[in-house]
C-alpha cells in the first residue's frame, strides 16, 4: 500500500505541474480542436457520400455506408498521427526538467524507489493522455444522438484501445529519452524522431519483402493499428504494444538507477 501511495503522490505532482502551467490547457485545446476538425471534415464527406448513395439506391444501385468505417476509423487514424507529434512534447520534461532544476536529487533522497518514481511519472502522463482522449471522444457522442442508424460501439471501443496503446508506447519511449538529458528540447526531438522511426518501419511490410525486412517491419507501430480500428482484437497486437511499453519503462528505470549509482 505504501508503494501505491508513493506512486499516487507522484502522479498528483505531475498533474499539478501540468495544470499549474499552460501545458495542459494548450495541449487539451489543440488536441480537441484537431479532433473536432478531423471529425467535421470527415463527417461532411460521409454526408456527401450518403446523398450520392441514396440517389443510387433510388435507381436500384448503391450500398449501405458505415459510420464506423467511414467516420470513426479515419478520425482515429488521424489522431494517432497527431499523438505522434503531441506526446513527445508532453514527455520531454518528465525527467529532463527535474535534472535541469536539480529537483531530481530531492526525489532520489526521498523514501521512494526508482521504479516508483518512473511509474509515477509514466502514469501521470498516461492519465493526462486519457483525459485528452475523453475530451476528443465527445465528438462521437453526436453520432449516437443524431444519426438515424447509430454506429456500432465495439469498433469504437477497440479503436479507443488502439489509440490508448499507441499513446502508452510513445509515452514510455519519451519517458526513457527524458532520463538521458537535462535539455527538454533535445528530449522532445529525440522522442519525436524515434517515434516517427517506429511509425515508418511499418511501411517496409511489403508482399515481396525478404524475411529480415519483414521482421524489422514488425516493429512498425502502424502494422498493429489497422485490425483494432476494424474492431478485431488480435493477441499479437496487444502483446506488441504492451511489450513495447514495458520495455520503455524498463529502460527508463535502468537509466534512473544508473544515474543514482553514478551520483
Per DSSP, the three-state class of 8 is helix
Give backbone dihedrals phi and psi of 147, rounded to 5 degrees, phi first: -70, 140
Domain ranges across the chain: 2-262
pLDDT of residue 155: 84
Cell of 182: 537535462
> Is 90 exceeded by the pLDDT of residue 126?
yes
Higher pLDDT, 225 or 126: 126
d(CA 94, CA 90): 8
Cell of 231: 474492431
Least confident of 114-118, 125-129, 142-146: 142-146
Q: Which of 106, 112, 136, 128 is nearest to 39 (CA)?
A: 136
Entry pTM: 0.89
> Is 90 exceeded by the pLDDT of residue 245?
yes
Least confident of 35-44, 69-78, 205-214: 205-214
End-to-end CA distance of the chain: 29
Q: Which of 234, 233, 231, 205 is nearest to 219 (CA)?
A: 205
d(CA 261, CA 255): 10
Q: What number is the average pLDDT over the span 9-25?
A: 84
Break the chain down into helix, strand, coil percent, rounded to 5. 80, 0, 20
> Is 90 exceeded by the pLDDT of residue 146?
no
Tens digits of residue pLDDT in 217-235: 888 887 788 888 878 888 8
Q: Is 112 within 8 Å of 105 (Cβ atoms)? A: no
Q: Which of 109, 214, 228, 211 is nearest to 167 (CA)?
A: 228
Q: What number is the average pLDDT over the span 148-164?
A: 85
d(CA 159, CA 32): 17
pLDDT band at 63 (very low <50, low <70, confident <90, very high): low
Q: How many other CB atoms sit within 10 Å of the CB of residue 256?
A: 22
Q: How many other CB atoms sit within 10 Å of the CB of residue 52?
A: 12
The CA–CA distances, whole Å, from 11 to 89, 144, 193, 233 equal 18, 34, 26, 30
Average per-residue pLDDT for the chain: 84
pLDDT of residue 144: 81
Q: What number is the average pLDDT over the span 110-134?
A: 89
Q: What number is the average pLDDT over the span 157-180?
A: 92
pLDDT band at 57 (very low <50, low <70, confident <90, very high): low
Residue carrying the nine cell digits 444519426: 147
Per DSSP, the three-state class of 223 is helix
pLDDT band at 54 (very low <50, low <70, confident <90, very high): low
Q: What number is the average pLDDT over the span 188-195?
A: 91
Amino acid at each position: 500500500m505504501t508503494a501505491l501511495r508513493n506512486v499516487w503522490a507522484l502522479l498528483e505532482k505531475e498533474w499539478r505541474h501540468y495544470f499549474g502551467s499552460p501545458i495542459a490547457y494548450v495541449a487539451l485545446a489543440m488536441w480537441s480542436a484537431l479532433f473536432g476538425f478531423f471529425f467535421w471534415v470527415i463527417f461532411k464527406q460521409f454526408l456527401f457520400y450518403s446523398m450520392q448513395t441514396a440517389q443510387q439506391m433510388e435507381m436500384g444501385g448503391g450500398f449501405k455506408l458505415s459510420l464506423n468505417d467511414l467516420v470513426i476509423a479515419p478520425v482515429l487514424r488521424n489522431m494517432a498521427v497527431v499523438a505522434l507529434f503531441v506526446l513527445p512534447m508532453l514527455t520531454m520534461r518528465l525527467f529532463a526538467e527535474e535534472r535541469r532544476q536539480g529537483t531530481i536529487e530531492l526525489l532520489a533522497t526521498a523514501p521512494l524507489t526508482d521504479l516508483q518514481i518512473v511509474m509515477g511519472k509514466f502514469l501521470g502522463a498516461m492519465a493526462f493522455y486519457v483525459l485528452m482522449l475523453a475530451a476528443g471522444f465527445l465528438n462521437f457522442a453526436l453520432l449516437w444522438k443524431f444519426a438515424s442508424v447509430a454506429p456500432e460501439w465495439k469498433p469504437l471501443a477497440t479503436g479507443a484501445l488502439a489509440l490508448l496503446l499507441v499513446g502508452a508506447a510513445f509515452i514510455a519511449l519519451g519517458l526513457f529519452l527524458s532520463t538521458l538529458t537535462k535539455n527538454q528540447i533535445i528530449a522532445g526531438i529525440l522522442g519525436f524522431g524515434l517515434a516517427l522511426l517506429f511509425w515508418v518501419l511499418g511501411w517496409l511490410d511489403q508482399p515481396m519483402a525478404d524475411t529480415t525486412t519483414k521482421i524489422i517491419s514488425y516493429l512498425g507501430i502502424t502494422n498493429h493499428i489497422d485490425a483494432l480500428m476494424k474492431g478485431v482484437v488480435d493477441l499479437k497486437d496487444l502483446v506488441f504494444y504492451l511489450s513495447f511499453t514495458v520495455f520503455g519503462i524498463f529502460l527508463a528505470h535502468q537509466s534512473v538507477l544508473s544515474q543514482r549509482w553514478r551520483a
